Amino acid sequence: MPGRVEANPDRTLSAKRSIFGALAYMTSRPGAEAFVASQMAPDEPALALALGEGLVRSPRRVLALTAHPDDLEFFAGGTLRRMALAGSQIFAVVMTDGEKRGNWTDLGGQRRSEQEAAARFQGYASVKFMGLPDFGLPEDPRLEHLVARTWDEIAPEVVFAFDPKELLPQTANRDHKALGRTVMDLARARMQTGAQVYFYGTHHPSVLVDITPVIADKLQAVKAHQSQMVFLDEAETDRTIQSMARMAAGASGCAYAEPLYRLM
Ligand SMILES: [Zn+2]
């Protein structure tokens, strides 16, 4: 077992600042939303929306994998909320406690409690923390084993994870990519289970989930992660999330969407 991989707090802080800064900047620029929407529009928006409706409407057994507390709600909170409301059982698994957060204080305990509150609000069946090091997933040999074991234990019909192909350098995160790559590597051997795998946080979606009916829930679920609300105030957070959802919706015909890429 290798030693714990220590994050560089300065690096973590500047990464987080640049992500939120880039998003807030984007949402404040006239024309920026339309540009991003056109860049990330699926080839067939109507088909993408129909696939999204098919995904969220019938109850499924769902494994929702993520790297840090708040990622699931931020990137796929509307989708998971709609699935939970339709009767899906959502088993959330968070690989780290997000304990570094970009300062010198260990906030893992607080961030776990916030994730638990968000999970209750969202209606997840359970939330489990794997305790791997924040900002250390790419180097951690336990990652693949834990994801594989969890996948086989839960036996999901639908798996969610990060898109490993992060196209925007401002928002690229090595933990996110490492998790996405691991799921991609494990997916092949599980094809015969019939599980569907969807990547969230994607910029090349093949599926759009209409989250218009639950956009207020998404804002509330994200803001359950109060310790992360340090770079944007509440109103800025709402604006940023709504802007991202408008960009994903683009010209598809709904007001707010979350983009997904279906791997299998
Ligand atoms: Zn994250």
Residue 116 lies in a domain: yes
Compute, in angstroms, the gap from residue 98 CA to the centroid of ligand 1.
Answer: 8
Compute, in angstroms, the gap from residue 131 CA to the centroid of ligand 1.
Answer: 14
Residue 78 lies in a domain: yes
Residue 207 lies in a domain: yes
**Ion ligand 1 residue ranges (Cβ < 5 Å):** 67-68, 71
Size of the chain, expressed as the number of residues it contains: 264
pLDDT at position 180 over 80 = yes
Confidence of residue 259 (pLDDT cuts 50, 70, 90): very high
Average pLDDT for 151-177: 88
Number of domains in the chain: 1
Domain residues for 208?
Answer: 9-262
Residue 101, domain CATH: 3.40.50.10320
Condensed to tens digits (0 to 9), the pLDDT of residues 42-66 reads 999 999 999 999 999 999 999 999 9
Residue 4 lies in a domain: no
Confidence of residue 99 (pLDDT cuts 50, 70, 90): confident
Residue 24 lies in a domain: yes
Residue 88 lies in a domain: yes
Residue 48 lies in a domain: yes
**Residue 92 is which amino acid?**
A
Query: Residue 260 has which token pair?
Result: 């997904």
Condensed to tens digits (0 to 9), the pLDDT of residues 181-211 reads 999 999 999 999 999 999 999 999 999 999 9
CA distance 225 to 79: 18
Compute, in angstroms, the gap from residue 70 CA to the centroid of ligand 1.
Answer: 7
Residue 1 lies in a domain: no
CA distance 155 to 180: 18
